[in-house]
Amino acid sequence: MSKINMQLKELTENVGKSYSVLQVDYPTPNQAALDFQPGDVHAVLAYLKGQGFRQMSLLSCVDWIEDGQFQLVYLLFNWEAGLRLQVRTRIDRANPVFTTVTGIYPGAKYYERDVHEFFGVEFNGNPDSSKPLFLENWDDMPPMRKDFDPQAYSDRKYKAREYKTDFNTKAGEGQ
């Protein structure tokens, strides 16, 4: 096992001594993914920041529509050790509310806005989370949810029109 893998293994074992880790995966040699209950995420993030994971690179969201859940994925980076961590948790899709992590990672306020805008997750404690970031004047359900129908949205928003070819095709093309 490489030095990086040993560091990750030791780190995940130490995290497991203090917090209830539901699952650990190693997607790449220098990355671990750890799943937690929602109530443990803030304490785990604060602990990891103290262990050198000073950069939250991204907050992402996965729509597990079949399970009725959203998965929040916090991507952390430790520059000194060259290690990456995913801290993951699942929340109820019908009532997607989570407490902001901006007290730990202030830059999360923009990532939380993004997740709110595209998935509809509310972040309690982040007063900016409901401000539009990309989708100004959006008037429908969040577009990255798996039950969003882009064709139905387009049909409601835009008039149907016919398109005429404004170029010459070669024989057999565009038929």
What is the tens place of the pLDDT at every residue in 14-61? 999 999 999 999 998 889 999 999 999 999 999 999 999 999 999 999
What does the domain layout of the chain look like in residue ranges? 3-157
Question: How far from 47 is each of 32, 33, 172, CA to CA, in Å?
Answer: 16, 15, 64
CA–CA dist 74, 88 (Å, integer): 6
Query: Which ranges of the chain would DSSP assign to H, the alpha helix?
Result: 3-18, 41-50, 108-119, 150-157
Residue 31 and residue 86 in contact, taking contact as beta carbons nearer than 8 Å? yes
Stretches in the chain below the pLDDT threshold 70: 1-4, 172-175
State the pLDDT at residue 161: 83
State the pLDDT at residue 5: 79
**Bridge partners of residue 70, in order along the sequence:** 63, 91
State the pLDDT at residue 91: 98
**Bridge partners of residue 56, in order along the sequence:** 76
State the pLDDT at residue 109: 95
pTM exceeds 0.75 for this model? yes
Residue 48 and residue 76 in contact, taking contact as beta carbons nearer than 8 Å? yes
CA–CA dist 16, 122 (Å, integer): 28
What is the chain's alpha carbon radius of gyration, rounded to the nearest angstrom?
Answer: 21
State the pLDDT at residue 174: 57
CA–CA dist 125, 102 (Å, integer): 8
Angle between helices 3-18 and 41-50 (to 10 degrees): 130
State the pLDDT at residue 95: 97
Q: Which CATH code for domain 3-157?
A: 3.30.460.80
Q: Helix, strand or coil for residue 158?
A: coil
State the pLDDT at residue 1: 56
CA–CA dist 73, 41 (Å, integer): 10
